[in-house]
């Protein structure tokens, strides 16, 4: 970066052309990234008779499709279900992951390494390899078809990675803090909750955002473990809507747009944490 | 998604003996207990059960019949399985190549500190936060044979003869799905590469410049070798995600047309839960396929660990 600026004064034309090509490529790829989403937004406010054919921008706008999604697809209900499932999952995951992550970073106990590696092996386990026995297990426990079972599965399968992220964050905090608090006579849980957890809040925020997105977007478990349509969160509802209303593009686009709104808002506001959550696991190797 | 080689945090060495050490150890067990409990019930036990079920024949009623390796014997002579395996491997290979090369190129361009870099980065990453269902539904409309944006675009620029029913044609369906995957994944891998690029010492580029290296040579002999570890991570994530692939294909084509986009994930899911087709669920056979997916992911991870170790020994 710095070298680039130093040389800015004497730039041969060859470099200029390379730069032009670079910009062009970035513009094309950005356009390809944004276009489907922009098209979705525009189609959602198109009058129905102008969907097939007509220019990119419609001559008039209507919110009919949103109104229809709101009433016909019972959107508010499924939106609330998704929100409740997601919030409970996030709270559960963060509570368990901060406890375990702290223990792996700052407490010594026999078998720690073994337990840690075993938990972490979840990360490479394909979901399709456990979806069948999970289905049977929930059935045996009488939790199949209910949201409680789904939330428990979400927490159980998500905690290992969140625990890994939290351990990384807790490890950046000096161990001397724990020792000093011990000398002062604080109990182990108090040290965790009052001394260390507040310092790890930025890390916990990353886990919250990452987990919020994953649970909000989850499809396979929700589709498999829930059966009654009234209980479904958004992703399976959207999937079913595509099957039923495959030609009603404004309705579909309005539903899709509303379903991603919370995620996009969180992304725009907290981009840095979002990005940290998604890349940390990969870069930390 | 993490592939970090787990290493034990060794703070303070061995657990100290005596009262304080013991209470810390007790706290340690208590703190990890809830996580271990949920892990055991919802990850470990189901996985072990999968292994067992793969050795049984079972339609979900009564008790599973233990049949040894019969399911795996049947797999070997099941042409649908071989087709699904081939499709999975081809899809994985195409995704891995594209989703490594394109993000690397984007990251190198964005790492130059050009104007509007943040805007490009933000826009290119947005698809990564959108769910598979939304992505799949959206691209189904893009690929629509009559009114889809892709065919309209081709007609608009005078290439109407190239317009196709992309998802309904056995030859175009897989490339069409690879494009969707690239659309969604490019941003994430780009960010991973960007993080890697920011860790390269600028002095290396300065030295190469003084030695008269061209831009391409600097890329080839400084950037690429310095990013070897990051590339290993990106490739592994791509390969494992490719093997695991399910959602987008399930949403967009359900494995069709005529099983042309059937991958292991969609095949096994259909065998277990696709009872709408009137078939009896075959949990045993489906879990046997899921074990194949698991072994593929395991192999990829082991190869990665090995390559990483070698790279570390060299440096």
Rg (CA), chain B: 24
**Res A278 pLDDT > 70:** no
Which residues, numbered 243 to 282 in chain B, qualify as contacts with chain A under a Cβ-Cβ cut-off of 8 Å? 243-244, 246-247, 250-251, 264-265, 268-269, 272-273
CATH number of the domain to which B211 belongs: 1.10.3720.10
A-B Cβ pairs (cutoff 8 Å, strict) = 320
**Res A83 pLDDT > 50:** yes
> Which residue segments constitute the domains of chain A, with CATH numbers given?
73-283 (1.10.3720.10)
* Closest residue in B to A99 (Cα–Cα): B31
In B, which residues are within 8 Å of A220 by CB distance?
Answer: 246-247, 250
CA-to-CA distance for B261 and B264, rounded, in angstroms? 10
> Which two three-digit tokens encode residue A105?
């970073």
Residue listed under structure tokens 């409740």: A84
**Res A252 pLDDT > 70:** yes
**With an 8 Å Cβ cutoff, is B101 touching chain A?**
no
The distance of A37 to chain B (nearest Cα, Å) reads 8
Measured between CB atoms, which of B46, B122, B126 is closest to A133?
B46
> Which two three-digit tokens encode residue A252?
């579909």
Per residue in B119-129, pLDDT (tens digit) is: 999 899 999 99
CA-to-CA distance for B22 and A22, rounded, in angstroms? 60
| Predicted local distance difference test score (pLDDT) of residue B64 | 85
| Predicted local distance difference test score (pLDDT) of residue A146 | 87
Rg (CA), chain A: 24
* Closest residue in B to A141 (Cα–Cα): B41
**Res A147 pLDDT > 60:** yes
Measured between CB atoms, which of B39, B137, B196 is closest to A156?
B39
Q: Where are the beta strands (DSSP E) in chain B?
A: 56-57, 65-66
Label residue B9 by pLDDT band (50, 70, 90): very low
B47 located within any domain: no
* Closest residue in B to A285 (Cα–Cα): B4
Query: Model pTM?
Result: 0.87
| Predicted local distance difference test score (pLDDT) of residue B80 | 92
| Predicted local distance difference test score (pLDDT) of residue A1 | 46
**B112/A1 touch (CB, cutoff 8 Å), yes or no:** yes
Label residue A281 by pLDDT band (50, 70, 90): low
In B, which residues are within 8 Å of A133 by CB distance?
Answer: 45-47, 49-50, 53, 287
> Which two three-digit tokens encode residue A113?
């390494």
B227 located within any domain: yes
Residue range of the domain that includes B176: 84-284
Label residue B185 by pLDDT band (50, 70, 90): very high
CA distances from B231 to A158, A282, B121, B202 (A): 26, 10, 19, 19
Q: Closest by alpha carbon to A212, among A85, A37, A75?
A: A85
B102 located within any domain: yes
Q: Please provide the size of chain B in residues.
A: 315
**A274/B41 touch (CB, cutoff 8 Å), yes or no:** no
Asked if residue B135 lies in contact with residue B127, where contact means CB atoms within 8 angstroms, the answer is yes
**B42/A271 touch (CB, cutoff 8 Å), yes or no:** no
CA-to-CA distance for B235 and B200, rounded, in angstroms? 20
Asked if residue B244 lies in contact with residue A123, where contact means CB atoms within 8 angstroms, the answer is no
Poorest-confidence range of A53-67, A82-96, B28-42, B283-297? A53-67
Average pLDDT over residues B35-60: 92
The distance of B243 to chain A (nearest Cα, Å) reads 8
Average pLDDT over residues A127-153: 91
| Predicted local distance difference test score (pLDDT) of residue B5 | 45
Contacts by residues B160-167 (CB-CB < 8 Å, ≥ 24 positions apart): B167/B140, B167/B143, B167/B252, B167/B253, B167/B257
> Which two three-digit tokens encode residue A256?
């899709």
In A, which residues are within 8 Å of B130 by CB distance?
Answer: 37, 217, 260, 263
B186 located within any domain: yes
| Predicted local distance difference test score (pLDDT) of residue B8 | 46
Classify residue A111 as left (phi > 0), alpha (psi -120 to 50) or beta.
left
Between A9 and A50, the higher pLDDT residue: A50
Label residue B177 by pLDDT band (50, 70, 90): very high
Whether omega for the bond prior to residue A205 falls within 30 degrees of 0, making it cis, is no
Average pLDDT over residues B94-113: 93
CA-to-CA distance for A206 and A214, rounded, in angstroms? 12
CA distances from A212 to A93, A221, B61 (A): 10, 16, 37
> Residue B85: is it exposed, middle or buried by C-beta count within 10 angstroms (0-12/13-18/19+)?
buried
Residue listed under structure tokens 């209900």: A77
**A131/B269 touch (CB, cutoff 8 Å), yes or no:** yes
Q: Identify the residue among A117, A125, A129 best suited for mutation to test binding to B, counting B beta carbons within 10 A and taking the highest.
A: A129
| Predicted local distance difference test score (pLDDT) of residue A280 | 65
Label residue B293 by pLDDT band (50, 70, 90): very high
**A123/B15 touch (CB, cutoff 8 Å), yes or no:** no
Q: Identify the residue among B137, B226, B284 best suited for mutation to test binding to A, counting A beta carbons within 10 A and taking the highest.
A: B137
Q: Is the ipTM of this complex over 0.85?
A: yes
**B138/A37 touch (CB, cutoff 8 Å), yes or no:** yes
How many domains are contained in chain B?
1
CA-to-CA distance for B50 and A136, rounded, in angstroms? 10
Poorest-confidence range of A66-75, B51-60, B133-142, B304-313? B304-313
Average pLDDT over residues A82-96: 96
**With an 8 Å Cβ cutoff, is B301 touching chain A?**
yes
**B24/A124 touch (CB, cutoff 8 Å), yes or no:** no
**Res A16 pLDDT > 90:** no
CA-to-CA distance for B139 and A36, rounded, in angstroms? 8
Would you give the distance in Å from CA A131 to the centre of its chain? Answer: 20
For residue B145, what is the enclosing H or E element? Answer: none
Measured between CB atoms, which of A123, A137, A239 is closest to B251?
A239
B8 located within any domain: no
Measured between CB atoms, which of A128, A238, A281 is closest to B133?
A238
Average pLDDT over residues B3-24: 54
Residue listed under structure tokens 């410049």: B209
**B133/A235 touch (CB, cutoff 8 Å), yes or no:** yes
| Predicted local distance difference test score (pLDDT) of residue B34 | 95
CA-to-CA distance for A172 and A195, rounded, in angstroms? 14
Asked if residue B201 lies in contact with residue B225, where contact means CB atoms within 8 angstroms, the answer is no
Using alpha carbons only, give the angle A249, A255, A257 rounded to the nearest 5 degrees.
100
**Res B160 pLDDT > 80:** no
**B191/A275 touch (CB, cutoff 8 Å), yes or no:** yes
**A239/B21 touch (CB, cutoff 8 Å), yes or no:** no
**Res B275 pLDDT > 60:** no
**B126/A96 touch (CB, cutoff 8 Å), yes or no:** no
Per residue in B130-152, pLDDT (tens digit) is: 999 999 999 999 998 888 888 88
| Predicted local distance difference test score (pLDDT) of residue B14 | 46
Per residue in B215-251, pLDDT (tens digit) is: 888 888 888 888 888 898 899 889 999 999 999 999 9
**Res A28 pLDDT > 50:** yes
| pLDDT, chain A, mean | 87
| Predicted local distance difference test score (pLDDT) of residue A121 | 87
In A, which residues are within 8 Å of B20 by CB distance?
Answer: 182
> Residue A20: is it exposed, middle or buried by C-beta count within 10 angstroms (0-12/13-18/19+)?
exposed
| pLDDT, chain B, mean | 86
**B53/A175 touch (CB, cutoff 8 Å), yes or no:** no
**A26/B12 touch (CB, cutoff 8 Å), yes or no:** no
| Predicted local distance difference test score (pLDDT) of residue A62 | 84
């Amino acid at each position: 970066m710095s070298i680039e600026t130093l040389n800015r004064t004497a730039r041969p034309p060859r470099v200029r052309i390379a730069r032009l090509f670079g910009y062009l490529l970035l513009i094309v790829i950005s356009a390809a990234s944004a276009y489907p989403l922009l098209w979705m937004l525009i189609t959602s406010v198109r009058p129905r008779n102008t969907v097939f054919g007509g220019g990119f921008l419609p001559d008039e706008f209507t919110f009919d499709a949103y109104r229809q999604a709101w009433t016909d697809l019972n959107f508010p209900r499924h939106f609330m279900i998704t929100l409740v499932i997601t919030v409970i999952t996030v709270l559960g995951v963060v509570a368990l992951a901060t406890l375990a992550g702290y223990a792996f970073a700052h407490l010594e106990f026999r078998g720690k390494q073994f337990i840690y590696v075993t938990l972490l092996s979840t990360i490479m386990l394909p979901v399709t390899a456990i979806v069948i026995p999970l289905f049977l297990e929930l059935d045996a426990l009488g939790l199949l078809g209910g949201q409680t079972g789904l939330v428990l599965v979400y927490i159980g399968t998500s905690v290992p990675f969140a625990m890994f992220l939290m351990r990384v964050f807790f490890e950046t905090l000096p161990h001397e803090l724990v020792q000093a608090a011990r000398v002062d006579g604080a109990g182990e849980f108090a040290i965790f909750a009052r001394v260390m957890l507040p310092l790890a809040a930025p890390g916990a925020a990353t886990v919250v955002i990452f987990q919020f997105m994953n649970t909000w977007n989850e499809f396979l478990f929700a589709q498999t473990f829930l059966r009654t349509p009234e209980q479904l969160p958004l992703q399976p509802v959207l999937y079913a809507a595509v099957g039923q209303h495959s030609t009603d593009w404004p309705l579909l686009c309005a539903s899709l747009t509303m379903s991603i709104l919370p995620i996009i808002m969180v992304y725009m506001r907290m981009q840095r944490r979002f990005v940290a959550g998604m890349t940390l696991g990969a870069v930390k190797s | 998604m993490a592939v970090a080689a787990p290493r034990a945090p060794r703070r303070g060495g061995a657990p100290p003996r005596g009262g304080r050490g013991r209470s810390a150890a007790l706290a340690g067990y208590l703190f990890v207990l809830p996580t271990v409990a949920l892990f055991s019930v919802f990850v470990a036990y189901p996985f072990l059960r999968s292994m067992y079920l793969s050795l049984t024949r079972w339609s979900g009623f009564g008790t599973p019949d233990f049949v040894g390796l019969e399911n795996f014997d049947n797999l070997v002579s099941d042409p649908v399985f071989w087709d699904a395996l081939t499709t999975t491997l081809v899809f994985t290979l195409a995704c891995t190549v594209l989703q490594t090369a394109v993000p690397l190129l984007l990251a190198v361009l964005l790492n130059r500190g050009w104007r509007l870099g943040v805007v490009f980065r933000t826009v290119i990453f947005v698809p990564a936060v959108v769910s598979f269902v939304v992505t799949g539904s959206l691209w189904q409309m893009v690929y629509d044979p009559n009114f889809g944006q892709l065919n309209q675009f081709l007609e608009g620029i005078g290439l109407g003869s190239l317009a196709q029913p992309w998802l309904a044609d056995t030859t175009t369906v897989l490339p069409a799905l690879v494009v969707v995957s690239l659309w969604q994944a490019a941003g994430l891998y780009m960010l991973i590469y960007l993080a890697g690029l920011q860790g390269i010492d600028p002095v290396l580029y300065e030295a190469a410049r003084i030695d008269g290296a061209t831009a391409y040579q600097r890329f080839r002999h400084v950037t690429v070798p310095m990013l070897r570890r990051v590339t290993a991570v990106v490739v592994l994530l791509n390969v494992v995600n490719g093997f695991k692939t399910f959602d987008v294909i399930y949403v967009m084509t359900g494995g069709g047309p005529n099983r042309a986009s059937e991958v292991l994930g969609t095949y096994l899911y259909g065998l277990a839960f696709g009872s709408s087709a009137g078939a009896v669920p075959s949990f045993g056979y489906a879990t046997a396929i899921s074990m194949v997916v698991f072994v593929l992911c395991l192999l990829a991870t082991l190869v990665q660990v090995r390559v990483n170790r070698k790279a570390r020994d060299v440096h």
